[in-house]
Amino acid sequence: MRICVFGAGAVGSHFAVRLALAGHDVSCVMRGPHLEAVKAKGLTLRVGDAAFNAKVRASDDPAKLGSQDLVISTLKATGVSSLASGLRPLLREDTPVVFAQNGIPWWYDLGLPPDHPPPPDLAFLDPGGRLRAALPTQRIIGGVIYSSNEVVEPGVVANLSPDRNMLLVGECDDGESERIERLRTALKDASIGSPPVARIREAIWAKLLTNMSMSVLCLLTGQTARAVRDDPALREVVPRLLDEANAVGQSCCPGVKRVTRSGPAPEHKPSILQDYELGRAMEIDALVRAPAAFARAAGLSTPMLDMLAGLAIRQARDKGLYQG
């Protein structure tokens, strides 16, 4: 397949290498020193002591890459609006677009199954409705990423989770389709896990429950997920946060599994903390404001999450990383 990874930073570059080495014609929309390095010497993925190099076409101008069989957007929620103008030259009549991002996606209410609780107003996730105007619902595929990566130098990305690299995908209406099966097969052949997902919004909430609670707590404390979970000073705080997050998730997706304090916690900083430390725009709307809107719509009292949200917004604003 001709596959374009739009917004190939750390995660997108990782997936681009694996897909290219699996035999696909891969191109990347990227920018800056990362782009120049890839043009000069290809894209390199490091996994432990091993290194894999792939030649991919790369540009900061999508029009130079031609039409595609598939587009995978790995842009953060803060940058996804740039797709509205950039996607057109990449699309054939039937080209689908996978939106793989953290938090509540802009398309959440599109193609909603009839048994799903109605969501709150999420217009702030797509200011001006630009993406809705540019993309009909039938092009949209939902995606949830589980993969930790870092651009260690221009043109080189390191995978920090060698035993856990997945891209879960599903149609907006949760229907079965041949294109989803083909996509899962392509991902599996590229050593990217993609097990079947019955309801894509449940997969979104399953990851969001941790991000909206523990990841935001990491942001406020400056600690890794494991350090936050194991911090004696937070022993009473963490269970309360998770109880509130689970209540919100259950009100929106009754089938979503509860997240608990037990089990492994990664010894790395979540992306929202990395963005803060690197001075990058932060995914406050998708990870903080949207879940809060769901809680209000459900009539839930979430004082712990509300406090975290207020502190996170203030912290991001104070550093000029959030304008909402």
Task: Name the residues annotated as catalytic.
Answer: 207
DSSP 8-state code for residue 215: I
Which of 57, 44, 36, 42 shows the shortest CA–CA distance to 10?
Answer: 44
CB 213 within 8 A of CB 266: no
Helix (H) or strand (E) holding 235: none
Q: Which residues pair with 307 in a beta bridge?
A: none
Rounded to a whole number of angstroms, the CA Rg of the chain reads: 19
The C-alpha atoms of residue 275 and residue 219 are separated, in whole angstroms, by 9
**Sheet with 166-171, side-by-side order of all strands:** 57-59, 25-29, 2-6, 70-73, 97-100, 140-146, 166-171
Provide the strand spans (E) within 22-147: 25-29, 43-47, 50-54, 57-59, 70-73, 97-100, 140-146
The CA-atom distances, in angstroms, between 208 and each of 177, 211, 213 are: 25, 5, 8
Q: State which H helix or E strand residue 210 sits in.
A: helix 200-210
For helices 237-252 and 200-210, angle between their N-to-C axes, nearest 10 degrees:
160
| Cα angle: 196, vertex 198, 199; to 5 degrees | 125
